[in-house]
Structure 1
């Protein structure tokens, strides 16, 4: 008798690491993986956020391990703690990203130190996470990088962030080839998702309806929209998928970025 396809979503007994899981998309990913049966290693800078995410993991009947700290140069520490506590790493999600700089500006007006900081936070940290994960995973491991639609096109006034995410997309493709057939590496690129970080960087106050109007499916994304794509890529349902970028953006692509809804 053929087993149910849904069994491919059962991740019971597996261990997942989710960086940037204190709130927003990272928290939704952590909870989604816990729903599927994973124990989850959580990372963020603020302990109160991590404790709230951990409580949600435990409410789902799974074990949460908190690894508080700035992700930059911290991936090896996270991986070591995961191995000490659980003895394995099966899934690693490089979700940390964004900007410590809350000012948008043209690339030519961007100070060098700000550009370097963006690369370290959004690209170098993912590179370090991939290394920490890949050197500890067994066959069947899955790495998922969280990129951005901004990394797929020119992105005026958020250039350093977009450049880092474009680099992440290539990093994914290269690692997928180098780590096959044992470890799969994929990317999820969210479109506009209404999170705390999204609002802080883009100052979206009063603009959400305007942004939603540029999306063919008619609404902003939610953290759960992104978590669903990650869950698929982390699961056995995606066992023949590697080196791919899935844009989760409500139909808003490079060609439809300036989409205008039809008049009623």
Structure 2
């Protein structure tokens, strides 16, 4: 049995990751902010955490961790000229600074466990979509952080990022609020469907496992072929 920490584990991709790890019998420590967990597992320990707080309390986690997953994120698509500089700061604080604070708080436990860290980017970084300047700026930083930390902490801790396309999660609900929107978005992908939280959890689970023990510093695209195939 291994021990994992999932930040933002009560909804969307985080919830799917927690379910997969707990079903395998691992001990999971998972946080929630606004969405309190509904499911109860004897091997899952939920505790409240707001990554925007100045200090973070991780006193409940063990002194040795086998893996960390950072899930908090936002999708705010607007024309660049309408986005305030404060909006860029707020998004960066949530998606990047929050991850930095969590990793710094847990790095010693991860080194003891020779752990694996999984962060999340976006297909928009490679593709260059309009109205994505906010999220692409933060996720671009995540990709740089992933590679830098992978180098700094090798061989003790592995760092990888997953870059999804639009997935059917609560975070993306406003873009998939009708069958017509789902169908239209699906048609933009070579595999002709929208990804699920489980699709992203599957690759996350692989990167946390010993099966990926020779993989670090990578940004792995799980996007229905959108980033590499022309239709």
> Do they fold alike, i.e. is TM over 0.5?
yes
Superimposed CA distance per residue, residues 179-199 of structure 1 (whole angstroms, 9 cap, x where no aligned partner): 001000111111121111102
Can you give the 5+ residue segments of structure 1 that lack an aligned partner in the other structure?
1-11
Which moved further from structure 2: 152-161 or 165-174? 152-161
Q: Is the 8 A contact 1:20 1:97 kept in 2?
A: no
Alpha-carbon distance in structure 2 between the residues aligned to 1:170 and 1:35: 32
* 2:156 counterpart (156, 165, 182): 182
Counterpart of 1:91? 67
Q: Is the 8 A contact 1:75 1:129 kept in 2?
A: no
Question: Is the partner of 1:82 in helix, strand or coil?
Answer: coil
Question: Is the partner of 1:25 in helix, strand or coil?
Answer: helix
Alignment of 1:222-237 (within 5 A): 222-237=196-211
What do you get for the CA RMSD once the two structures are aligned?
1.9
Counterpart of 1:71? 51
Alpha-carbon distance in structure 2 between the residues aligned to 1:139 and 1:42: 17
Counterpart of 2:18? 30
Question: Is the partner of 1:252 in helix, strand or coil?
Answer: coil
Alpha-carbon distance in structure 2 between the residues aligned to 1:172 and 1:30: 22
Q: Is the 8 A contact 2:25 2:43 kept in 1?
A: no
Question: Is the partner of 1:89 in helix, strand or coil?
Answer: coil
* 2:61 counterpart (73, 82, 98): 82
Higher strand share: 2
Q: Is the 8 A contact 2:7 2:71 kept in 1?
A: yes
Question: Is the partner of 1:72 in helix, strand or coil?
Answer: coil
Alignment of 1:11-160 (within 5 A): 12=1, 14-46=2-34, 49-53=35-39, 55=40, 58=41, 62-73=42-53, 76-77=56-57, 79-83=58-62, 87-99=63-75, 104-137=77-110, 138-160=112-134
The alpha-carbon deviation at position 139 of structure 1 amounts to 4.5
* 1:218 counterpart (192, 197, 202): 192
- The alpha-carbon distance between structure 1 residues 146 and 216, as it changes in their structure 2 partners (threshold 3 A), is same
Can you give the 5+ residue segments of structure 2 that lack an aligned partner in the other structure?
none
Question: Is the partner of 2:168 in helix, strand or coil?
Answer: coil
Size of the aligned set, in residue pairs, is 229
Q: Is the 8 A contact 2:64 2:113 kept in 1?
A: no
Query: Larger Rg: 1 or 2?
Result: 1
Alpha-carbon distance in structure 1 between the residues aligned to 2:181 and 2:160: 32
Q: Is the 8 A contact 1:73 1:128 kept in 2?
A: no
Counterpart of 2:216? 242
TM-score, length-normalised on structure 2?
Answer: 0.91
Alpha-carbon distance in structure 2 between the residues aligned to 1:241 and 1:181: 11
